[in-house]
Structure 1
Amino acid sequence: MAALQRLLSSAWLLHLLVLAALAGWILVLNAPFPRPAVALLEAHQLEILGVGGGLVAVLALLYRRANLALQAAVISLSIAGLGVAPSPAHGVTAAAILLPINILILALLDERGLLSRDGLWRCAALVLQVLLVLGLFRHQPAWLEALAATHFLPAAVSSWSSLPDQGLLLGVLAVAGLLSWALLHPNPPHIGAFSALVTATVGLELSLMRHGSLVLPTLLAVVALHLLLFAVLQEAHRMAFRDGLTGLPNRRAMDTLTQGLSGRYTIAMMDIDHFKAFNDTYGHEIGDQVLRRVASNIGRVGAGGRPFRYGGEEFSVVFPGRSPDEAVGALEAVRQAIADTPFRLRSADRPADDKRGSRERSGQRGEQETRITISIGVAEPESTSASADDVVQAADQALYRAKKGGRNRLAR
């Protein structure tokens, strides 16, 4: 059940559904394509790609995601190039080589904004590629033909694809790299780049299978642009409803959840004991490490609890459909786990790499340690007319009693 909940709340879900629908559609691809749609896509390919890519780029820039905007431009320009190339094979050769390289690089580069020095260099690199490809189309099409005719992959590998060997190899490497990166860092921009690249590359493959038809690559480019659009919207939602330091949902997310609560539920308010003194003694960087450590424990709360960073050193957990008696066990487990785990203070010269730091710590007996504890207040609605704000206030009062009673305890 927990795994299902993680999947349903994951940024992967929407992209996997689209890719699954795409795979299912390809299996019945032999069905006739509606003639009006064919005529529309062939007659207005550039307009469709320009408007679609432009809208995604503008929205991405509004949320300061220049790399996603440039990825939308790369997809639109790559597929638009099929319509201006001397032949479909020329266009596919250029697109199959440049598309995966650009999408992979833009997905891995840090976000710097469009008008920064790095952003302008990226725009310039994209413009230079466009000019280079147009120059090859006009003056050296034979070079692209020779490139497409160069085979170096084993026949058993290249036989299942119509793409040139260079494009096939780069595409597989880019897709594998993006998939690995997206699994390690499952944020919307990385997932969107992966799913968009897969979709656009399938469009290039189908273009050659359909003897250079522009219909399928244009249609799949529009789907790829929509996947990038989904990524922009998911990233905007994450920025609005996730705490950047701890990764937990923030207070706005909690307010959204509690607005829809009714019937039985429990709210727990948590506070790190002596956090201000700890922050003043060791500094804000160490304080941030403490917040992340505590958030990591609270994020694993059981009994169906939904954890949030409420603000500052305060956290909260909402238990929909649970009474305090049902929630206390999970809360006590979190409190005990935090109290029982020593917190090792990271020195200023400690390696940034956790594994290397762990190896170096293994030989150090005098490393400074401290203990972190939290206090918890728990409350439920006292009547059917009680609002979630009333329950939060009651939980805060219980938290005050826990502090007054000696800290590192739970009060109701």
Structure 2
Amino acid sequence: MIQSHLKTLIFILLPPVLLALGMGAAIQGSWLPELPQGLVEALPWLMGGLAGVLAFLYGRTRTLICVALVLLVYLGIMLHIRPMAMAPGTDPLPELGYALMTMLIPVVFMANAFWSERYHLVMDLLLRLAAFGGLAGIAVFLAMNDPENMADLLLTIYVPALHWDAYGMPQLSFWSLVLCLGIMGFFLLRRPSPQWAGQWITLAGIGWMLPQLFHTYAVPVFTATLLLILAIAVIHESFQMAFRDDLTGLPGRRALNERLQRLGRRYTIAMTDVDHFKKFNDTHGHDLGDQVLRVVAAQLRKVSGGGRAYRYGGEEFTIIFPGKTVEQCIPHLEDVREAIEAYEIAVRDESSRPGSKREGRARRGQGKGKKVSVTISMGVAERSQDHPDPETVIKAADQALYAAKQAGRNQVCAAE
């Protein structure tokens, strides 16, 4: 289970992280060719339009807000902070405006990430804009009416030993960024998803970009990169929704159909069914039934021998072994079947549920409660002259599965 979780996390994080790190290294090392000024200035808006349109079409309000935040940061740097910082005869850095922006952006990013998408797209978008716009408006109002106290609050170095002066960001803003990145990163590790990964990398990228005020093209080019990462996250998540089963995490029926079109001349297909699943659902409830499906899927995901598991539908699963014969696959299928048979699932007795947290703590350790286990039956068939294509192989595996059920269940049966 942990290995599968790590694979999912790496699969989601690796491409955008490599893209962000690669672009950051290219900017720092001045590896990019000389770019026309018009193209440099247009890149953020082109990428922002792409990411915004994709987020709107797929109903991703959080990503829409992220796109708007990135473009607002870009505008704030290019139109306000950077000109003031580079104008002769002014302070080297417009500290209060810079501190205010770097303090608020991580907080708004984190709040937006945890704000679930529950309402109609337009209503959700308006609510977020009102909340975050109100927060920014209050902060700007306080800064304009009491700049001295706001400067003392935002620019003071509270703990000199923990201040990184070379980073060029006020201490409070820096720790706001670190704290928000840490909280968002923790939830990303627990529940990896492309949208969470895109938002986390974008916030980290903004944290890297903000001190790059005096680089010729770092701000517009890296802004465009972050917006491209958000666009990729929308596409990646939409792909997962279409091809991955939400309950079990396995590839779904659409992914299976595409894989069946790309099999070679030798392959074996196994059809798997949870024994007495309807009776189990009626006895213990659908919540525990869903847990059973997740447990079975987690074990099927571990199948060795080069097999790949898919959710076929309901309590049925399909395992494909490219380049294998039935005889080569049966030992691996038996290992999975035995692992599922040995797995015990705890059943909570609803009548004995504690009425309070104190009662629950008092009962803890007094017994582990009832446990149940399930079994699966499998039918397996390989491509042959009698079964020349995936559809006929699946039908043969289905017939073998039926034979396994008739023979007493909890066994692997090969097609004749």
Structure 1 length-normalised TM? 0.85
Indicate yes or no: 2:123 matched with 1:121.
no
For 1:361 and 1:249, the matched residues in 2 are separated by 37
User: Which residue matches 2:80?
Assistant: 85
Helix, strand or coil for the counterpart of 1:205? coil
1:251–1:359 Cα change, 3 Å: farther
User: Which residue matches 1:70?
Assistant: 65
Contact kept? 2:269, 2:380, Cα under 8 Å = yes
For 1:326 and 1:350, the matched residues in 2 are separated by 48
For 2:122 and 2:336, the matched residues in 1 are separated by 44
User: Which residue matches 1:376?
Assistant: 378
Contact kept? 2:99, 2:155, Cα under 8 Å = no
1:171–1:254 Cα change, 3 Å: same
Helix, strand or coil for the counterpart of 1:261? coil
User: Which residue matches 1:21?
Assistant: 22
Contact kept? 1:66, 1:112, Cα under 8 Å = no
1:166 to 172, 182, 187: 172
Q: Deviations over 1:256-285 (max 9, x none)?
A: 111111122111100011111222222222
1:107 to 103, 113, 119: 113
For 2:336 and 2:239, the matched residues in 1 are separated by 28
Quote the offset at 1:315 in angstroms.
Answer: 0.7
- One-letter identity of the residue aligned with 1:216: A
User: Which residue matches 1:299?
Assistant: 301
For 2:296 and 2:47, the matched residues in 1 are separated by 44
1:114–1:85 Cα change, 3 Å: farther
For 1:329 and 1:7, the matched residues in 2 are separated by 27
Contact kept? 1:254, 1:308, Cα under 8 Å = yes
For 2:50 and 2:345, the matched residues in 1 are separated by 48
Indicate yes or no: 2:239 matched with 1:233.
no
Helix, strand or coil for the counterpart of 1:382? coil
- One-letter identity of the residue aligned with 1:401: A
1:337–1:361 Cα change, 3 Å: farther
1:173–1:34 Cα change, 3 Å: same
Contact kept? 1:64, 1:113, Cα under 8 Å = no
Following superposition of structure 1 onto structure 2, how do residues 324-343 of structure 1 map, counting pairs within 5 Å? Answer: 324-343=326-345
Following superposition of structure 1 onto structure 2, how do residues 302-381 of structure 1 map, counting pairs within 5 Å? Answer: 302-348=304-350, 362-364=365-367, 367-381=369-383
For 1:160 and 1:71, the matched residues in 2 are separated by 28
Quote the offset at 1:119 in angstroms.
Answer: 5.0
Deviates more, 1:188-197 or 1:57-66: 57-66
For 1:199 and 1:391, the matched residues in 2 are separated by 49
1:138–1:369 Cα change, 3 Å: closer
User: Which residue matches 1:36?
Assistant: 36
For 2:270 and 2:32, the matched residues in 1 are separated by 58
For 2:164 and 2:10, the matched residues in 1 are separated by 38
Quote the offset at 1:131 in angstroms.
Answer: 4.0
User: Which residue matches 1:199?
Assistant: 205
- One-letter identity of the residue aligned with 1:151: I
Contact kept? 1:112, 1:119, Cα under 8 Å = no
1:145–1:72 Cα change, 3 Å: same
Indicate yes or no: 2:191 matched with 1:190.
no
Quote the offset at 1:153 in angstroms.
Answer: 3.9
- What 5-or-longer segments of structure 1 have no aligned partner? none
Quote the offset at 1:380 in angstroms.
Answer: 0.8
1:338–1:182 Cα change, 3 Å: same
For 1:298 and 1:59, the matched residues in 2 are separated by 34
1:69–1:40 Cα change, 3 Å: same
- One-letter identity of the residue aligned with 1:110: S
Deviates more, 1:255-264 or 1:147-156: 147-156
- One-letter identity of the residue aligned with 1:150: T
User: Which residue matches 2:288?
Assistant: 286
Quote the offset at 1:61 in angstroms.
Answer: 3.0
For 1:141 and 1:394, the matched residues in 2 are separated by 78
1:251 to 244, 250, 253: 253
Following superposition of structure 1 onto structure 2, how do residues 252-267 of structure 1 map, counting pairs within 5 Å? Answer: 252-267=254-269
Indicate yes or no: 2:225 matched with 1:223.
yes
Helix, strand or coil for the counterpart of 1:14? helix
Q: Deviations over 1:182-228 (max 9, x none)?
A: 22211111111111112122111111x54xx6x32222111111111
Alpha-carbon RMSD across the aligned residues, in angstroms, is: 3.1
- What 5-or-longer segments of structure 2 have no aligned partner? 86-92
Helix, strand or coil for the counterpart of 2:320? strand
- One-letter identity of the residue aligned with 1:300: K
For 1:151 and 1:268, the matched residues in 2 are separated by 64
Helix, strand or coil for the counterpart of 1:80? helix
Taking every aligned residue pair, what percent have the same amino acid on both sides? 34
- One-letter identity of the residue aligned with 2:317: F
Helix, strand or coil for the counterpart of 1:174? helix
1:182–1:9 Cα change, 3 Å: closer
For 1:409 and 1:131, the matched residues in 2 are separated by 66
Quote the offset at 1:292 in angstroms.
Answer: 1.4
- One-letter identity of the residue aligned with 1:370: V
Structure 2 length-normalised TM? 0.84
Relative CO higher for 1 or 2, CA cutoff 8 Å, sep ≥ 6? 2
- One-letter identity of the residue aligned with 2:243: F
